Amino acid sequence: MKKTYKIEVDCANCANKMEEAARGTAGIASAVVNFMTQKMTVEFTEGSDPKKVMQDVLKACKKVEDDCEIYL
């Protein structure tokens, strides 16, 4: 399953870091952060709960880049 979320991040490198953090989260098959359109597209692994997984993704992103937001 694929979903796109609106995000807010100020710098391009931070966007890259968020992408990496999201990819490393359990339950995420792939993640792409688009800095220019301020969007995160994630693909969940089979059987995972998107709501729960996205909470973890947000936590992981906050850890690498304090000044970011994902609108769930």
DSSP state for residue 45 in the 8-state scheme: P
Residue numbers 21-40 binding other proteins by CB under 8 A: 32, 34-39
CB 24 within 8 A of CB 60: yes
From the list 25, 10, 19, the residue with the least C-alpha distance to 56 is 25
57 binds other proteins (CB under 8 A): no
Between residues 34 and 45, which has the closer beta carbon with respect to other proteins? 34
- In the complex, which residues of this chain contact other proteins (CB under 8 A)? 4, 10-13, 16-17, 19-20, 32, 34-39, 41, 63-64, 66-67
